[in-house]
Structure 1
Amino acid sequence: MAARSVGLLARSPLCAQSRTPVRLAAVRLLSGAGPVAADIGREEQLPGGGETGSEDKTPKKRFSEVQEERREQAQRTVLIHCPHKFSEKKFLKYLSQHGPINNHFFYESLVGDQLDTLLKELQLTEENVRLRYLTCSLIEDVAAAYFPDCTVRPFGSSVNTFGKLGCDLDMFLDLDEIGKRSTPKTVGNFLLEFQVKNVPSERIATQKILSVIGECLDHFGPGCVGVQKILNARCPLVRFSHQASGFQCDLTTNNRIALKSSELLYLYGALDSRVRALVFSVRCWARAHSLTSSIPGAWITNFSLTMMVIFFLQRRSPPILPTLESLKALASAEDKCVIEGNNCTFVRDLNKIQPSRNTEPLELLLKEFFEYFGNFAFNKNSINIRQGREQNKPDSSPLHIQNPFETSLNISRNVSQSQLQKFVDLARESAWLLQQDGEGGPAPAPRQPWGLAALLLPSVRDSRSLSKKQNRRPASERIKSLLESIKEHSPDSPTATDGKRTMSTHT
């Protein structure tokens, strides 16, 4: 049974104003029979969990502004476990005796696979996003015992608006801002500083820092279980499960380019409502046909698929998305960013970017996406969102997608020729199926799947391997079985019973 939780958004008076690192972590995570999360403070709606396609006329917020507001919100939040069948009204009345509760939410631990084909079902909910920032804030409390004034920031799918329910929580331990934000403590004529002792390389320093934090989480981190220190990876990390929130977490440090990439995707997703809808549809299609996998291998990754969608939308006439170079041209002095010698500069104020004049409907874009890449010259051309145009491949990799910031890297170097060919074949077949639904195509028979539903069925080649008994089943039943299979066997999150989620406010 999934455990229930409630979110109370506020720090005082439910928790102390002082930021004593380890003790505060215990105060803000109160153990009981089942979870409750709550925020006591502003009832401001933040990006990341809203309805898709809704037009918001208010000025759009920068990525950094959303990050800071989410962190502040998390620091004013407590996560409380409560019995599963406990009265919500009575529980809130009891908590109100200790101080005002301006906002709260009850939720079920999202430990089950809640994959679905619709964007509204796939995207992270507002409650789930809040819970991710709260989890980072709790880990930050633990890390602050060794590195005062450090920050732990979520990055990747948790913040770039392309994450789905059940995705891992990627966290970045940021130590670079310590010297800029904290006031040095002086004792007489002496200056007190916190620094890492001399080590042979920055990589070794990173490994030592993560090793210490990993030990602390393993022995003292509230709700942190299954801690693994994976320090010899290309990007060293600490992996663990956070029981109270139900998230599988990866903690890294010295990974600022990944955070910048998250900001870039956030910007692209906010520029046009069609972007996220198209990305989620393509990802769902790829997952249904086993083009992607959570297991490392020769498969195409979700990040690569997202880059392909962005590139495709840059190639429309008129373009739906601007190139990275044009975003760089709009940047001001405050936007300048160079990380490890890589120019990561682009405009961060979304209101400075002119909206696209392209009005093509989403169903047309989906068909055109499959047609475009079904006939793309992968043998000689690479995908580059900086320039937004096809370029000659610099190497012999079957699929070459340039990293937007570390331009010498190919983010799809792992993809094999056979997997790329499978992608091309399925793209052509999907374009043909969507074409049948367009003008001039035959009308679908009663109960016959069409549109995206038809794309989730086994391909023509795969259908030949099905038994005759399976093929005699109604198409609607085959689609239902396929979706249930995706839900039950998706490796993105552990199998569990899904629970209802409710949202209410109290002022």
Structure 2
Amino acid sequence: MDDVISATSLLTIPSMEADIRTTPKGFLCVLCNVNIPNQPSLEQHLKGRKHETLSNVRSTRKSQEERSVFVSGLKPDVSNSDVAEYFQRFGSITDVIMDKNKGVYAIVQFDEVAGVNAALSHDEHQLKGLKLRVKPREKKEFKLIPKKKNYFQNLQEVCERLKPELCQLTSVNAQMQYMVERFQLGENEKKSRSLVIQLLQEVFVEFFPDSQIIPFGSSVNTFGIHSCDLDLFLDLENTKVFQAHAKANMEQAGEGVSDDGRSEDSILSDIDLSTASPAELLDLVAVILKRCVPSVDKVNVVSTARLPVVKFQHKELHLQGDITLNNRLAVRNTRFLQLCSGAEERLRPLVYTLRLWAKQKQLAGNPSGAGPLLNNYALTLLVLYYLQNCEPPVLPTVNQLKDMACEEEECVIENWDCTFPTQAIAVPPSKNTQELCSLLAGFFSFYAQFEFATNVISLRTGRSDPLTNVQKAAADDDMQQDCSAKPPQGGPRIGPMNILDPFELSHNVAGNLNERTARSFQKECQEAEKYCRSLQYQVKSNKGKSWGLVRLLTPQGEGPQARMDLLTVSILLRSEGLPEDLQNQQHVAKDAFSVLWFQRVCAVVEGIFQNVLKCHLVSAPEVLEEGQDVDLSSSLDDSGLSVESPVNPGPNVGGKRPLSSGSDDSVSPHGKKPRLTKRGRSVLSPWLWEQRHSVWAGRRKVRRELIKDSEAKAEGSCVELETQVTTHITEKEPQLKEALQFKLQPQLVVATESTSTLLKFQPIQDSEGVFQDFFHFLEVFLPKMVDTMLVKRADNS
């Protein structure tokens, strides 16, 4: 019966029936090869970016097939232009795709279907003495081909095979060196990449005289692994000079110049590099790759990236590559990593080990180059910064390297000072003699307690700057009028983890991270720190058990507790964003203010769930008996809402009287003030909430409808509007077949320089599998709404 209902409701979505199949557990999208648990999620999927993109690609390919003919009987000396010129007589041509490796067939694509009919109705086709065979292009069913996993994506399987060999080694140091040997690029791989670069250089120099193809990134920075991408920079500066001189000479001679002032026989006559946009140049690069470079396919222009690129694949080598323009800073960063690697031999084993660790713990390795995980460059900079802060330092700071450079080595790129020595011999050896195993354990200890939320990591100075100072400096720079000799304006993108590029100081290389990843990174560092203090890390097992790196590189757990650790939303205390009444309380209460702020946040969170999201409160928090002690590390089922006391507690901490600020707002939900236990913590039991509607599904569409005649507002910026959205959904959409129940435990975390409220969620009843969708919505919605309602409460008081 459920399937019948689902199928019937599916018919309300036009032209989608062929893509969707009903299953015992919900739906299957055949086009995207995705399982979908319920009707609201299905509707969201059909409106999603992936499904729409694949649908558009399928429509485009179907249209191309209908407007194309397949031509065989060609020979390698027949060019694209020869084929296009011949078939032009039958209709306008939009594209000619030839098999450039064998040169025996082509696909001719017409602008209209009439061109196909005219070509097929012609009795005989001859070109350069060759008798051509022309037939309709084969119609192929569109299928999503999943990407093949490369060597590194199969890391878990590879590490499993390496376990016996690693366990036989005598020390962690030897294990780390062994991992480098097994994962680093081999000599044959390096030679293959060099040949591809040479091939591309020979092709591109024909189109762009004096241009250069310069490799950067993992392939050449000494940290490359098997199957890593080949990152290339196409340098066109010399070509621009060449074109300008050629144009001037032609104009002066008055010969061979077309009406628009360009040389008719110049290979650059189709484009003026001095005025062409990056998008036009990238499109030209893509055309050259498609039509002129053997064994290259899957060429794709990615214009939405921070630095737009052309992606390609070399079929024979199974090598993925990127070509970018205007990326000299990336080339300089590569030289910087080469210098550090040459100056300190312990760096490569550390970086390789930590990259493998981060990949196994699902902290790094964005599959498509984008996403909320650490990229390899950001992780490497974390290693460098740690080594700069060892005692004594293992590596010098960027400013110290600048002082070691001679006058001829000075380098400025896009107004950023990128000076450092070109030779590693110019860097004095470190006085630090720690072994690799000790440095690895030190990395985890260093970042286990690091205050990421309030600090910005700078490799230039080798220290972390308070976030407020960096933001103020960026604001001061924006106010400067005379910036002719200064770097580009604007501060870095601030996020949960802030790591400044060593040279481009306006770029946060970890700006893509979300709070979940930053929190998971620190948690995994804390777990690794504990493990590195154990004998299992330090001493080889005589019984053949896993030890050392083997246990450290165990993949992230899949159990309930491991998943539970990720179901947390963090709300950071930002003093500058507090309403005036809370700022005044902060000034008076000082160290005790964190508890007052936490109580206010709890009250606001309750209001959001009950009034804005229309959740039903099944059970409210209850204050435990005064003096009763509860362990903060226990699970949701065993402990209530907990508050860690500040590092420097006020005079009330540890007492038996209730904490009071003199404000009625500083109370926990339902007006209850938490009492302090003997260990300086206030404890309440968790909330138990129930939600009967999918209030997270389709909110944007509903919001747009409600504000059609008024100015649009950002999500979470208007309490009344978001309440109306929820009300509309609950009134118009059917209820869930079984209500979703979840526990919510707020916890106050007070550190030296940051304070935050952690909202820990646990699904209790989720028969329809909707909790993950609900939680992903809350990750974005709750922090914004809490800030909004804190200000609103202050305005209304």
Q: TM-score, normalised by structure 1?
A: 0.64
Q: Give how far 1:379 is off.
A: 2.3
The structure-2 alpha-carbon separation of the partners of 1:233 and 1:420, relative to structure 1 and needing over 3 Å to count, comes to closer
CA distance in 2, matches of 1:111, 1:431: 30
Could you tell me how far apart the structure 2 residues matched to 1:282 and 1:140 are?
35
SS of the residue corresponding to residue 145 of structure 1 reads helix
Match of 2:614 in 1: none
Rounded to whole Å, the distance in 2 between the matches of 1:442 and 1:252 is: 47
Matches within 5 A, 1:321-360: 321-360=395-434
Aligned equivalent of 1:446: 543
User: Aligned pair count?
Assistant: 356
Residue in structure 1 matched with residue 184 of structure 2 by the alignment: 123
Residues 1:253 and 2:328 are matched in the alignment? no
Output the CA distance in 1 between the equivalents of 2:520 and 2:529: 14
Q: CA deviation at 1:176?
A: 2.1
Q: Distance in 2 between matches of 1:461 and 1:126?
A: 38
| Alpha-carbon distance, 1:340 to partner | 1.4
CA offset digits 1:42-61 (Å, max 9, x no partner): xxxxxxxxxxxxxxxxxxxx
Partner of 2:535: 437
Q: How does 1:231-246 map to 2 (within 5 A)?
A: 231-246=303-318
Name the structure 1 match of 2:386. 312
**Is the 1:111–1:247 contact (alpha carbons within 8 Å) kept by the matching residues of 2?**
no
Q: Distance in 2 between matches of 1:403 and 1:365?
A: 23
Cα distance in 1 for partners of 2:354, 2:552 equals: 10
Is the helix fraction higher in 1 or 2? Answer: 2
Partner amino acid, structure 2, of 1:454: R
1:9-20 to 2 correspondences below 5 Å = none
- What is the match of residue 399 of structure 1? 497
CA distance in 2, matches of 1:326, 1:306: 19
SS in 2 for 1:364: helix
Whichever residue aligns with residue 210 of structure 1, its letter is L
What's 1:12 paired with?
Answer: none
Q: Point out the more displaced range, 247-256 or 140-149.
A: 140-149
Distance apart, 1:149 and its partner CA = 2.0
Give the distance between the partners of 1:444 and 1:351, measured in 2 at CA: 40
Structure 2 equivalent of residue 418 of structure 1: 516
Q: Distance in 2 between matches of 1:212 and 1:129?
A: 28
Instruction: Give me the whole-angstrom Cα distance separating, in 2, the residues matched to 1:257 and 1:150.
Output: 18
Task: Please give the residue correspondences for 1:55-204 in structure 2 after superposition, counting only pairs within 5 Å.
Answer: 112-113=151-152, 115=155, 116=158, 118-178=179-239, 190=253, 197=272
- Which residue number corresponds to residue 473 of structure 1? none
Aligned equivalents of 2:379, 2:446: Cα separation in 1: 13
Q: Aligned partners of 1:225, 1:401: CA distance in 2, in Å?
A: 36
Alpha-carbon displacement from aligned partner over 1:429-471 (angstroms, at most 9, x marks no partner) = 11111110289x89857232221111122467848579xxxxx
C-alpha offsets along residues 378-407 of structure 1, whole Å, 9 cap, x if unaligned? 122221111111221235521110111110
Q: 1:271 aligns with which of 343, 346, 358?
A: 343
> How many Å separate the matches in 2 of 1:131 and 1:397?
39
Is contact 2:539-2:548 (8 Å) kept? no
- Residue 787 of structure 2 is matched in structure 1 by none
1:199 CA drift (Å): 6.5
Going from structure 1 to structure 2, the CA distance change for 1:409 and 1:464 (only over 3 Å counts) comes to closer
Query: Conserved in 1, the CA contact under 8 Å of 2:212 and 2:236?
Result: yes
Residue 205, structure 1, aligned to residue 282, structure 2: no
Indicate whether 1:284 and 2:340 are aligned: no
- Counterpart AA for 1:265: L
2: distance between equivalents of 1:465 and 1:398?
21
After superposition, give the CA deviation of every residue in 1:36-83 in whole Å (9 maximum; x if it has no partner).
xxxxxxxxxxxxxxxxxxxxxxxxxxxxxxxxxxxxxxxxxxxxxxxx
**Counterpart in the other structure of 1:22:** none
Residues 1:377 and 1:461: Cα distance change in structure 2 (over 3 Å): farther
Question: Structure 1 189/157 Cα, relative in aligned 2: closer, same or farther at 3 Å?
Answer: same
Which residue is equivalent to 2:12?
Answer: none
CA distance in structure 1 between the aligned counterparts of 2:243 and 2:280, rounded to whole angstroms: 23
Distance in 2 between the 1:30 and 1:272 partners? 45
Q: Partners in 1 of 2:244 and 2:511 — Cα distance?
A: 45
Letter in 2 for 1:162: F
Counterpart in 2 of 1:41? Answer: none
Q: Which amino acid aligns with 1:428?
A: Q
Contact kept? 1:123, 1:163, Cα under 8 Å: yes
List gaps (5 residues or longer) in structure 1.
1-28, 32-109, 467-507
Question: Any idea what SS the aligned residue of 2:425 has?
Answer: helix
CA distance in 1, matches of 2:338, 2:253: 44
Q: What is the deviation of 1:161? A: 0.6
Which amino acid is the alignment partner of residue 398 of structure 1? Answer: P
C-alpha contact (below 8 Å) 1:223/1:242 kept by paired residues: yes
Give the Å deviation of 1:249: 0.8
- Pick which of 269-278 and 179-188 moved more: 179-188
Q: How far apart, in 2, do the equivalents of 1:188 and 1:293 lie?
A: 53
1:442–1:138 Cα change, 3 Å: closer
8 Å CA contact 1:274–1:362 kept in 2: the answer is yes
What is the aligned-residue RMSD (CA, Å)?
A: 3.1
Shift in alpha-carbon separation, 1:443–1:338, aligned structure 2, 3 A = closer
Q: What SS class does the counterpart of residue 152 from structure 1 fall into?
A: strand
Contact kept? 1:401, 1:411, Cα under 8 Å: yes
SS at match of 1:383: strand
- Per the alignment, residue 371 of structure 2 pairs with 297
**Structure with bigger gyration radius:** 2
Runs of 5+ unmatched residues, structure 2: 1-99, 103-148, 160-178, 255-262, 472-493, 564-797
SS in 1 for 2:453: coil
Query: 1:409: which partner in 2?
Result: 507
SS at match of 1:299: coil
Structure-2-length-normalised TM-score? 0.42
SS of equivalent residue, structure 1 residue 308: helix
Deviation of 1:341 (Å): 1.4
Query: Is the Cα contact below 8 Å between 1:149 and 1:182 reproduced in 2?
Result: no
Tell me what 1:44 maps to.
none
Distance 1:205 1:429, change over 3 A: same
Q: Could you say if the C-alpha distance between residues 459 and 233 of structure 1 is closer, same or farther in structure 2, counting changes exceeding 3 Å?
A: closer
The one-letter amino acid paired with 1:197 is D
SS at match of 1:273: coil
CA distance in 2, matches of 1:391, 1:285: 27
Q: Which residues of 2 match residues 216-235 of structure 1 at below 5 A?
A: 216-235=288-307
Number of the residue aligned with 1:383: 457
Is the contact made by 1:135 and 1:245 (CA closer than 8 Å) also made in structure 2? no
Letter in 2 for 1:433: Y
Instruction: Describe the SS at the equivalent of 1:379.
Output: helix
Contact 1:168 1:250 (C-alpha < 8 Å) held by counterparts: yes
**Inter-partner Cα distance in structure 1 for 2:501 and 2:495:** 14
**Equivalent residue number for residue 133 of structure 2:** none
Q: Displacement of 1:337 after TM fit? A: 1.4
Q: Note if contact 2:309-2:324 (Cα within 8 Å) is conserved in structure 1.
A: yes
Do the aligned partners of residues 318 and 199 (structure 1) sit closer, same or farther apart at CA in structure 2, a change above 3 Å counting? same
1:111–1:246 Cα contact (<8 Å) kept = no
The CA distance in 1 between the partners of 2:202 and 2:536, in whole Å, is: 56
Of structures 1 and 2, the one scoring higher in RCO (CA 8 A, sep 6+) is 1
Give the Cα separation in 2 of the matches to 1:270 and 1:350. 5
Q: Identity over aligned residues, as a percent?
A: 31
Mean CA deviation greater in 313-322 or 445-454: 445-454
Counterpart CA distance in 2 for 1:399 and 1:438 is: 31
* CA pair 463-162 structure 1, distance change in 2 beyond 3 A: farther
